[in-house]
Amino acid sequence: MDLIASLQCADQPGIVHAMTSAVLACGGNIIENQQFTDEPTNTFVMRTRFETSQGLDAAQKSLHEGLSKFSPDLHIRPTDEKPRALVLVTKESHCLRDLLYLLELGELPIEIPLIVSNHEELRTLVESHGFTFKHLPINASTKAEQEKALLALIEEHSIDFVVLARYMQVLSNEFCAALPGRIINIHHSFLPGFKGAKPYHQAHARGVKIIGATAHFVTSDLDEGPIIEQDIAHVSHTSTPDDLIALGRDIERRVLAKAVRLYAQDRIFIVGQRTVVFS
């Protein structure tokens, strides 16, 4: 059985030795190992992929016993187990289209049981790809009720994480708190610059020479969550806001898809306001 172990704890001597010994104790063989120590927070993170003939239960027992003295946050799962994502969209389709395309190619190791939107525009696209679409309209007076329905769907469908594929609604503090480190958003600017609405218009007004997109975890602070992935493109004084928007769509879809893939492969660790991302 091929497994991935993700570990995070305070940095201290002996962690790597304990991990390798625990893997050996369950008849395992390490295929891949990446580790990093964040000195400002004294946080150690490690991702270990290994094979064992003794199965998941034996591996969990061995690793938890062998590493318990370090009080780690330790997660072990089969490599071929695909996390289940709830995708939220509004009207724009480019990020969603790319996720569906990569899924059809077998290049995105996730399952999408459900796609939810606060508008009906993308129903035909979603259902034409064979996915379930649910319309949950929202306004100021129904926001709490709509988010309660979303949380019920997350529980009903055993959702592991949420992807905001250009979902143009600000999530409440309560919703964010219910899913810490489990909501990924794509923001159409190179954060921390140009937060909030119409970032391409903000960028044009400032005469920037590069634009970008940022995938980040969602927190109660708007566009302030830990950054996962970013990319840019060069522009010039001749670029209009519409030019920036068109160019930005390509960056947004690529950045979001990469962030989702990294999350699905257990390659992202949140350390304070930052992330450690193993390539």
Task: Say which CATH topology domain 2-78 has.
Answer: Alpha-Beta Plaits (3.30.70)
In the chain, pLDDT over 70 holds for what percent of residues?
98
Instruction: For tokens 């129903």, name the residue.
Output: 123
Residue 84 above 70 pLDDT? yes
C-alpha 43, offset from chain centre: 21
Mean pLDDT computed over 216-239? 92
Inter-helix orientation angle 199-206/241-264, to 10°: 130
Mean per-residue pLDDT for 253-272? Answer: 98
Tokens 């919703």 -> residue: 175
Q: Domain 84-277 maps to which CATH number in 3.30.1330.60, 3.40.309.10, 1.10.1050.10, 3.40.50.170?
A: 3.40.50.170
pLDDT digits (tens, 9 = 90+) for 155-193: 999 999 999 999 999 999 999 999 999 999 999 877 666
| 145 contact partners, CB below 8 Å, separation of at least 6 | none
Q: Spot the catalytic one: 221, 223, 243, 266.
A: 223
Sign of CA pseudo-dihedral 263, 269, 275, 279: negative
Mean pLDDT of the chain: 94
Please tell me what DSSP assigns to residue 83.
P
- Per the model's pLDDT, the better-predicted residue between 2 and 140 turns out to be 2
> For residue 241, what pLDDT band results from cuts at 50, 70 and 90?
confident
pLDDT tens by residue, 198-222: 887 887 888 888 888 999 999 998 8
Contact 4, 76 (CB under 8 A): yes
Query: Does the active-site annotation cover 223?
Result: yes
Q: pLDDT at position 239, please?
A: 87
DSSP 97-121: HHHHHHHHHT-S--EEEEEEESSST
φ, ψ at 2 (rounded to 5°):
-95, 125
Other C-beta atoms lying within 10 Å of the C-beta of residue 210: 11
Whole-model pTM: value is 0.93
Residue 48 to residue 33: CA distance in whole angstroms:
4
Least confident of 24-33, 61-70, 75-84, 199-208: 199-208
CA 2, CA 28: separation in Å to the nearest integer? 9
Give residue 62's Cα distance to chain centre: 29
Q: What is the DSSP string of 1-43?
A: -EEEEEEEEE--TTHHHHHHHHHHHTTEEEEEEEEEEETTTTE
Domain boundaries, the chain: 2-78, 84-277
Q: Which two tokens stand for residue 173?
A: 């503090």
Q: What is the pLDDT of residue 191?
A: 65
Split at pLDDT 50, 70, 90, the class of 31 is very high
Q: Which of 176, 177, 166, 19 is nearest to 89 (CA)?
A: 166
Q: What share of the chain is helix, strand, coil (3-state, %, to 5)?
A: 35, 30, 35
Spatial separation of the C-alpha atoms in residues 101 and 228, rounded to whole Å? 22
- Residue 162's nearest CA partner among 132, 183, 136 is 183
